[in-house]
Amino acid sequence: MLIMPACAQTDSEVPTINPTATYTTDDGEEESEDYSGNAPLPGVFRANPENVGEYTASYEWHFTLEGEESPYLTRYEEDTEYTFTQAGTHNIVLYATFVNGTDTIAYTEEYWAERGPLRVSISESQLEMPNAFSPNGDGINDIYKAKSNYQSIVEFHAYIFNRWGQKLYEWNDPAGGWDGKYKGKDVAQGVYFVLVKARGADGREFNIKRDVNLLRGYTESTGTITE
């Protein structure tokens, strides 16, 4: 006996699946069948089978970029994990087969044609660095770091130098940054230099070189600089 897609899900006597996707974001975990986010994006995919009973189950997860015919990744466990690092729309489906003697319950193309795949869209990469910051302890712009609109950055390394080419600081997370100190002490107000080498999920390379104005006496509320 072969039972295909949705009709099988309504029968409580046969195995069913209910595939779900949960993504780990900066705000925590989010379960979604159609999610948009930035790389790297970890995801957990669960088959959630029910009524398996005496049936022997086999699973086949397919991860495919939209517009492509063949999956770039196939996994064979009931639940699987994957971290998305490539920009574009990814379609995820689960082919599940349950066998008990001569009875076979299969969830394949027809099931997903009716339901639609799990989908995740990874944004194109973006990265900008500011030209100034004001580490004066007022809690506003105290840290020199990437502008908050960065997205889908999978590799990042930044260096701060003084005017003589001495390296003062480095960091490898776009969410991190420099507090205007060297060996625990405040550096003088003035012009410094940042070098950033980064790569986006879409393969874009970033090689940013620019001056950084450290305005220690700058007050955001008045827009003035004091010595």
pLDDT of residue 13: 83
Mean pLDDT across the stretch 69-93? 96
Distance linking the first and last C-alpha atoms of the chain:
84
- Tokens 């100034």: give the residue: 132
Pairing type for strands 88-100 and 118-122 reads: antiparallel
| 4 close to 110: Cβ distance less than 8 angstroms | yes
What is the residue-wise DSSP string for 46-108?
E---B--TTPEEEEEEEEEETT-SS-SEEE-SSEEEEEE-S-EEEEEEEEEEEEETTEEEEES
At 170-202, the pLDDT tens digits run 999 999 999 999 999 999 999 999 999 999 988
User: What is the rounded CA–CA span in Å between residue 218 and residue 35?
Assistant: 41
Return all residues near 219 (Cβ < 8 A) that are at least 6 apart: 134, 136, 138, 225, 226
pLDDT for 225 beyond 80: no
What is the pLDDT of the chain when averaged over all its residues? 91
| 56 close to 105: Cβ distance less than 8 angstroms | no
Q: How many helices (H) and strands (E) does the chain have?
A: 2, 20
Domains and CATH numbers, the chain: 2-122 (2.60.40.10), 132-225 (2.60.40)
For residue 149, give the 3-state DSSP assignment.
coil
pLDDT for 218 beyond 80: no
User: What is the rounded CA–CA span in Å between residue 173 and residue 123?
Assistant: 18
pLDDT of residue 12: 57
- Tokens 């999610």: give the residue: 35
Return all residues near 43 (Cβ < 8 A) that are at least 6 apart: 21, 22, 23, 24, 81, 82, 83, 84, 120
Confidence of residue 113 (pLDDT cuts 50, 70, 90): very high
Radius of gyration of the chain (CA): 25
> pTM higher than 0.75, yes or no?
no
pLDDT for 10 beyond 50: no
pLDDT of residue 1: 39
